[in-house]
Amino acid sequence: MTMLDQPSPATPLLAVTHLAQRYTLPRESLFKPPAQVHALNGVTAQVMPGKSLGVVGESGSGKSTFARLVMALERPTAGQVVLLGRDLNQLSPDDLRRARRDFQMVFQDPYGSLDPRQTIARIVAEPLTALGRIDRAGLRERVATTLRQVGLRDADMDKFPHEFSGGQRQRIAIARALITQPKLIVADEPVSALDVSVQAQVLNLMQDLQDEFGLSYILISHDLAVVDLICDEIAVMYQGRIVEQGRPADLFAHSAHPYTRALLDAVPRARAGGVRRRRGAQAIGSQASATAGCPYAPRCPLADRHCRETAPALRNVADAHLAACHYAEAVMALPPVVAEAG
Amino acid sequence: MREAPLLEVKDLGVTLNTSRGPAQAVRGVSFALRRGETLGLVGESGCGKSVTALALMGLLPESAVISGSVRLDGAELVGLPDAAYCKLRGNRISMIFQEPMTALNPMHTIGHQVAEPLLRHTGVSAAQARQEAIALLDRVGLPDAAKRVDAYPHQFSGGQRQRITIAMALACQPDVLIADEPTTALDVTIQGQILDLIAGLVAEHGMSMILISHDLGVIAENVDRMMVMYGGTVVESGATDAVFTRMGHPYTQGLFRARPRLGARKGTRLKTIAGTVPELADLPAGCTFADRCAIVEARCRAALPAVVDVGGSHGVRCIRTDVSMAAGGVGA
């Protein structure tokens, strides 16, 4: 145990600075350099201990790449991921393996993420056994405790994944993440594969665990309502950049980026008199071609020449509220996209 | 004036052969769909909504036992030989599937796949079918349709692929379109575009549509009437506005309350439905929702409750609507 394991409230649990990731596409021509995809383009974010960050955006926005880099599953092209004061990409492989006890991941698909040939006990114990030797009796005790924490029974230890429903499997995946007593859990779409009634159970469990253990979550989701429920801060990503960031209430009541407004507007409302709200067809910009201007300009109803020529920087538009839009103030002055009643 | 229904389903039942023995996947489903009408089917996995759709399409495995009646324009479809069904599928009844990635054949160009129902059902020449395919792809909003007609599915994004499957489903201008979770695999912004596209095409051709979704929001915004399914039975049905104004069945209410919603404060507890979805192989004798219901009584478990009309052909399969719909009820 070092001093760094007990961060004071003022130091962030996780600090990500100017994180960028480029992937090289297969070469299309012998004589041209292969094209590159800028999956992540200079992302800076912090997570305070016990607080949670939600990351929303469409597919291809870079939110899963962000999760993989925070989990140190890939080396970034540029930038830093600092957890509890240590740069994860500067650690030796051995140190990194030990450091992993502090950050764990829950994946989207509870069917694909659990090995069908292993018992629940082995699956849940694996992060712990990977950290070093531990005696068998103690290990089973830890597994039993963790299973009870996620609402499963001790008797479930010797079963196999196929004996469980989707919601129970996601509980097992959460137990596996919890067993090392991490400070941060990165959850990539943890409930999107689940039915509505089961989704509610898992979301309630995630909230309970946060209250009990003071965990932080990085919650990656396309569902704004899910992120709103769990997170203290939300980052909206578009083409590898954070285009708006702030507290959920500010973000939803006074969206400062047209993209955030478009996302909110697209959520279907479950209520009587749900008249179809027509949305104009929008062309989707290509990721591979980096243009000089704002990446959202081709889809933006407010875009003008200035937007197409100069990319806006992420800037403060209000207290703890950032947006990357030249016209953020004008967007904030628009009437809010009606939040769902009830 | 009431015209005869285009599609009339009466007491449809499907028994599937599973490893755990016969399972009653669908029981007593009845509805009528007039030309130009849209019907939503909502429920969680295993509730029987997709099996109902497959039964209408004649796509269930041979081991499945189908009872009841499905009439399209008065002609009976249950028990129709496969050769006759082949003349209907893709021609008068079409389906859009959930996964555009797997619904398209990766080995054929998209032009070939969109033209296939035309060649099979209309007797046009290959050249005409190709021209028609380009026009269809253009209509569903695929950019540069004429140039990209010879491209393969992997060269398109998820939203574009779903547009291609819609073009396939609509090629022969079917009377009935069944869309099974057409936007579940897509981003929320693309979802809006695809639903707009489907709504536009349905209105343009005067088609009838059955939209299957687990998302109450998608149902609320897109269909005239809706049916809520649970455990293979329809537990609530009626005009979409009527159901959302005053939900009658405890399951519909539970489903509505369990959704996280925008603007709820962080830390809000979601109201869950206790228990889990029953196994179709061993459904209870009485109400399928009895084991999870907060207002269950002994008589609920005795027999499957009959449908109670709570006004304006809004039907609820519950014997305790006096309690469930009292005190304001649930609705938006």
Residue B82 exposure: Cα atoms within 13 Å on the Cβ side: 4
Residue from A163, A229, A337 to probe the interface with B (highest B Cβ count within 10 Å): A229
pLDDT of residue A341: 40
Instruction: Identify whether residues B181 and B155 lie together within a single domain.
Output: yes
**Cβ-defined contact of A266 to B268 (cutoff 8 Å):** no
Q: In this model, does residue A342 exceed pLDDT 50?
A: no
C-alpha to C-alpha distances, A155 to A19, A151, B24, nearest whole angstrom: 44, 12, 31
Q: Can you give the CATH number for the domain in which B37 is found?
A: 3.40.50.300
What is the rounded CA–CA span in Å between residue B35 and residue B285? 36
Q: Average pLDDT by consecutive 10-residue portion of chain B (332 residues)?
A: 82 90 91 94 89 94 93 93 92 90 92 94 93 92 89 89 92 93 83 88 90 92 94 95 93 92 81 80 86 92 92 92 75 52
Per-position DSSP letters for B222-291, written without gaps between them: H-SEEEEEETTEEEEEEEHHHHHHSB-SHHHHHHHHHS--TTPPTTPPP-PPSS-PPPGGG--SS-TTGG
pLDDT digits (tens, 9 = 90+) for A191-203: 888 888 888 989 9
Average pLDDT (A137-160) is 91
Given CB atoms, is A342 within the 8 Å cutoff of chain B?
Answer: yes
Name the closest residue on chain B to residue A259, using Cα atoms.
Answer: B189
Q: Given CA atoms A151, A154, A156, A157 in this order, what sign does their dihedral have?
A: positive
Binning pLDDT at 50, 70 and 90, where does residue A274 land?
Answer: low
How far apart are alpha carbons B133 and B130 in whole angstroms?
5
Within 8 A by CB and 6+ apart from A35, the residues are: A24, A25, A28, A288
**pLDDT confidence of residue A193:** 81
Per-residue DSSP letters for A244-272?
EEE-HHHHHHS--SHHHHHHHHHSPP-ST
Report whether B82 contacts B58 (CB < 8 A).
yes
What mean pLDDT comes out for the span A17-36? 86
Interface mutation target, options B240, B262, B292, B314, chain A, most CBs of A under 10 Å: B262
Rg of chain A in Å (alpha carbons) = 21
β-sheet bridge partners, residue B14: B26, B66
* Residue A90 pLDDT exceeds 80: yes
Residues B28 and B70 in one domain: yes
Q: Note whether B266 and A232 are within 8 A (CB).
A: yes
The answer to whether B220 contacts A283, with C-beta atoms less than 8 Å apart, is no
B76 and B146 belong to one structural domain: yes
Q: Cα A11 from chain centroid?
A: 21
* Tokens describing residue B211: 């939209």
- Do B204 and B72 share a structural domain? yes
Contact A340 B261 (CB under 8 A): yes
B330 within a domain of the structure (yes/no): no
Do B315 and B252 contact (CB within 8 A), yes or no? Answer: no
Confidence of residue A339 (pLDDT cuts 50, 70, 90): low
Using a CB-CB cut-off of 8 Å, the residues of chain B touching A223 are 188, 260
Beta-carbon contacts of A241 under 8 Å, excluding residues fewer than 6 positions away, are: A41, A42, A43, A62, A295, A314, A324
Q: State which amino acid sits at residue A64.
A: S
Q: How many CB atoms lie within 10 A of CB B326?
A: 9
Instruction: For residue A222, give how far its alpha carbon lies from the nearest alpha carbon of chain B (Å).
Output: 7
Name the residue with tokens 């779409």: A189
Q: Residue B260: which of A229, A252, A273 has the nearest Cβ?
A: A229
Per-residue model confidence (pLDDT) at position A329: 93
Residue B331 lies in a domain: no
Domain identity same for B50 and B141: yes
Mean pLDDT, rounded, of chain A? 87
Window 181-240 of A: residues touching B by CB (8 A cutoff) are 195-201, 203-204, 207, 222-226, 228-232
Report if residue B189 sits inside a domain.
yes
Could you tell me if B52 and B172 lie in one domain? yes
Q: Which domain holds residue B302?
A: 230-324
Considering the domain architecture, whether residues B91 and B144 belong to the same structural domain is answered as yes
User: Which two structure tokens, joined as six digits, stand for B315?
Assistant: 């039907």
When pLDDT is averaged across residues A147-166 and rounded to a whole number, the result is 90
User: Residues 6 or more apart from B31 whose CB is under 8 A from it?
Assistant: B9, B39, B227, B234, B237
B173 and B207 both lie in a single domain: yes
- ipTM, 2 dp: 0.82
> Which of A108, A195, A300 to probe by mutation at the B interface, max B CB count within 10 Å?
A195
Distance from CA of A100 to the nearest CA of B (A): 28
Q: What is the pLDDT of residue B165?
A: 93
A58 and B188 within 8 Å at the Cβ level: the answer is: yes
| Euclidean distance between CA atoms A303 and B49, whole angstroms | 43
Which residue in chain A has the smallest CA separation from B199? Answer: A276
Contact flag B189-A225 (C-beta cutoff 8 Å): no
> In B, which residues are within 8 Å of A277 by CB distance?
192, 221
Q: Do A274 and B244 touch (CB under 8 A)?
A: yes
B96 to chain A, closest Cα gap in Å:
20
Cβ <8 Å between B272 and A283: no
Return the residue matching tokens 């009408």. B37
C-beta atoms of B332 and A197 within 8 A = no
User: Do B280 and B235 fall into the same domain?
Assistant: yes
Is position B329 within any domain?
no
Domain boundary among B195, B223, B251: B223
Looking from the CA of A113 toward its CB, the CA atoms found within 13 Å total 24
Chain B: nearest CA to A194, how far in angstroms?
9
B-proximal residues of A, 50-69, CB under 8 Å: 58-59
Q: What is the pLDDT of residue A283?
A: 46
Spell out the residues 6+ positions from residue B48 whose beta carbon is closer than 8 angstroms to its own. B14, B25, B26, B27, B29, B229, B231, B232, B233, B280
Q: Which has the closest alpha carbon to B262: B158, B180, B184, B188?
A: B188
pLDDT at position B262 is 83
**Whether residue B216 is found in the same domain as residue B256:** no
CA distance B12 to chain A (A): 25
Tens digits of residue pLDDT in A307-325: 999 999 999 999 999 999 9
In a 13 Å sphere around the CA of B128, the CA atoms on its Cβ side amount to: 8
Domains and CATH numbers, chain A: 93-219 (3.40.50.300), 246-266+297-337 (no CATH)
**Chain B partners within 8 Å of A190 (Cβ):** none
- Structural domain contains residue B263: yes
- Angle at CA B313, nearest 5°, toward B307 and B316? 30
Q: For chains A and B, what is the number of CB pairs under 8 angstroms?
A: 154
Q: Is A197 exposed, middle or buried (0-12, 13-18, 19+ CB in 10 A)?
A: buried
What per-residue confidence (pLDDT) applies to B1? 47
Calpha distance A63→A186 (Å, rounded) = 11
Q: Are B100 and B191 in contact (CB under 8 A)?
A: no
Q: Which of B207, B223, B239 is the last residue of a domain?
A: B223
The residues, ordered by sequence, that sit 6+ positions from B107 with a Cβ below 8 Å of its Cβ are B152
**Residue B150 shares a structural domain with residue B244:** no
Last residue of one domain, picked from the residues B203, B223, B243? B223
Whether residue B332 is contained in a domain is answered as no
Q: In this complex, do A270 and B256 lie within 8 Å of one another by their Cβ atoms?
A: yes
Tokens of B29: 């489903």
pLDDT number for residue B273: 87
Q: What is the pTM of this model?
A: 0.86
Query: Does any domain span residue B111?
Result: yes
Best of A56, A223, A243, A271 to disrupt the B interface (most B CBs within 10 Å) is A271
Answer yes or no: is B202 within a domain.
yes
What radius of gyration, in Å, describes the C-alpha atoms of chain B? 21
* B contact test, residue of A59, A162, A197 with most B CBs within 10 A: A197
Report the SS3 class of residue B98: coil
Q: Give the count of domains, chain B.
A: 2
CA A45 to CA A149: how far, in whole Å? 30
- B102 and B237 assigned to the same domain: no
From CA A50, how far away is CA A214, in angstroms rounded? 5
